[in-house]
Amino acid sequence: MEIRKVGVIGAGQMGNGIAHVAALAGHDVFLNDLSRENIESALATINGNMARQARNGKITEDQRRQALDRIHIAENLESLEVCDLVIESASEDEQVKRKIFAALCPLIRPETIVATNTSSISITRLAASTDRPERFMGIHFMNPVPLMELVELIRGIATDDATFTSVRQFTLTLGKTIAVAEDFPAFIVNRILLPMINEAVYTLYEGVGTVEAIDSAMKLGAHHPMGPLELADFIGLDTCLSIMQVLYEGLADSKYRPCPLLVKYVEAGWLGRKTQRGFYDYRGEKPVPTR
């Protein structure tokens, strides 16, 4: 099945990025969230990001206007009935995702493909909570979606070949490079990346180095474009913790135990950039380490 109309559930950082790239690729996009205010905020973000692309010569002004015209506000899940593919991009919480699928599936056509943008949760288990496990799979975009070239595609045990082929073709229309991952906790990128971030937090926790020393060491000593603690703040410390918990519970290996300091920051509500405090404090003119 050719995918032309795409529903996106969740208008946060990942959801608005998915809507952005899908609309630029010529797809009609139906963006849904808990409130119209959230959707309108996402549209403003998309508009600003596309305007930046136009200023930098990456797209034309006509492409920007046409892409924005293709994004429609879907105030309820019933509005997604017209979609060929619906991508869930809500918070990294399995119960939240299951509730969305339970509400969504009775409202969409039997042939509609359902996908999740989860960065770590079992695709097979999520698929089993729907009425269409053979037409369900993982499409894991990287953050920020418009800039990152990679998309991980993950089949559940029941995903059929036709679904995979359709989703693969859709992903290629977005200009992305595909990495096919098996359905194991955190897939490929986060299976490697998050333990590194967790180890950086342990390095801070054990007093081996300060926030600045750890980030400088990895930027200048390993040529990483962003230090691991700065990156954790960008991802969101709650998301980092959630992925580490999935790894720890799913693989039962002590090397994936979340650092107690990461847990403490999340308990404090210091989740990184989105709350203005994490391993850095972002409330001033420049970020200042909090430890």
Query: Is residue 155 within 8 Å of residue 137, measured between CB atoms?
Result: yes
Contacts of 274 (CB under 8 A, 6+ apart): 13, 236
CB distance 176 to 150 below 8 Å: yes
For the question of residue 129 being annotated catalytic, the response is no
Catalytically annotated residue among 16, 32, 119, 198: 119
Question: Can you name the residues that pair with 9 across neighbouring β-strands?
Answer: 32, 88
Q: Residue 97: name the closest of 135, 132, 76, 123 by CA.
A: 123
Catalytic residue among 120, 190, 198, 242: 190
Active site residue 119: yes
Q: Which of 174, 228, 163, 122 lies closest to 17 in space, CA to CA?
A: 174
Q: Which residues, other chains included, contact 177 with Cβ-Cβ below 8 Å and sequence gap of 6+?
A: 149, 150, 151
Tell me if residue 60 falls in helix, strand or coil: coil
Q: Are 85 and 113 in contact (CB under 8 A)?
A: yes
Do 248 and 256 meet the contact criterion of CB atoms below 8 Å apart? Answer: yes
Render 89-151 in DSSP notation, one character per residue. Answer: ---S-HHHHHHHHHHHGGGS-TT-EEEE--SSS-HHHHHHTSS-GGGEEEEEE-SSTTT--EE
**Which of 152, 166, 230, 242 is flagged as catalytic?**
152
Cα separation values, 167 from 39, 171, 203, 232, 247, Å: 25, 6, 40, 29, 26
Burial class (CB in 10 A: 0-12, 13-18, 19+), 286: exposed
Active site residue 143: no
Q: Enter the DSSP assignment of 59.
A: S
Out of 20, 27, 72, 140, the active site residue is 140
Residue 122 annotated to the active site: no
Catalytic positions, written as ranges = 119, 140, 152, 190
